[in-house]
A and B are shown apart, each in its own frame.
Chain A
Amino acid sequence: GAVVSQHPSRVICKSGTSVKIECRSLDFQATTMFWYRQFPKKSLMLMATSNEGSKATYEQGVEKDKFLINHASLTLSTLTVTSAHPEDSSFYICSARPGTEAYEQYFGPGTRLTVT
């Protein structure tokens, strides 16, 4: 149980275009989902927290107009990187918590974004 999927696993896009990453909780309902960014050989950096049906809470320094997050259902959250630039190239990982009172947090397999 507690499986989180992400799609796509890898994506290459041209500078200036937008790319959408999907995150799904496959066997549980996730009232809260998180989006992280990870640079090579570094720890996980939280970008934003989203609760189903409400606006995402962004961490300091994360541009909400550049990284659009939508948590439209209890099993799906999307991250759209708008007007992507090479510096947005990174490993993006989503995570989900099964319920507001739950402690556990499960991660997806990650999406490798390369902006050319």
Chain B
Amino acid sequence: GENVEQHPSTLSVQEGDSAVIKCTYSDSASNYFPWYKQELGKGPQLIIDIRSNVGEKKDQRIAVTLNKTAKHFSLHITETQPEDSAVYFCAARAKFSGGYNKLIFGAGTRLAVHP
């Protein structure tokens, strides 16, 4: 089955710097890769996603890149701000028997942006 690994587990940056979080997946059939931001005590918020037919997607200060050959995808946050501090989860959508699909999540990255 699909397995998603996420690195690093914690990331500390200075305000204004860039942050990069990387994930690898194992199932080459996975075709959708969302990123979620979770603040303390809240549910995950979808911040950006990418499908397997696209190599890069950008939305203001955040971008996601996908390398299907290497089976890895990354989240890039530029000009980080203290409000970017949160836990970030990557996920891959995999298909299972019976025709249903589900998201497999990485372990999460705790990002701290220091003023």
Residues on A close to B: CB < 8 A? 2, 4, 6, 34, 42-44, 46, 49, 57, 93, 103-110, 112
Contacts and interface: CB of A to CB of B under 8 A. Distances in A.
B19 to A, nearest CB: 19
B51 interface: yes
A103 B43 contact: no
Interface string B92-108: 01000010101101111
A104 B34 contact: yes
A52 B20 CA distance: 38
A46 B44 CA distance: 14
B100 A43 contact: no
10 contacts: A34-B102, A43-B89, A43-B105, A44-B44, A44-B89, A104-B34, A108-B43, A109-B43, A110-B43, A112-B41
Given A103-B49, A106-B46, A109-B43, A43 B102 contact: no
Contacts of A103: 32, 34, 49, 51, 93
B45 interface: yes
Given A6-B43, A108-B43, 14 more contacts: A42-B107, A42-B108, A43-B106, A44-B44, A44-B105, A46-B102, A93-B44, A103-B49, A104-B34, A104-B49, A105-B46, A109-B43, A110-B41, A110-B42
Q: What interface size band does chain B fall in?
A: 20 to 34
Given A43-B89, A44-B89, A107 B43 contact: yes
A102 to B, nearest CB: 10
A110 to B, nearest CB: 5
Nearest to A112: B41
Contacts of B45: 107
B25 interface: no
B98 to A, nearest CB: 8
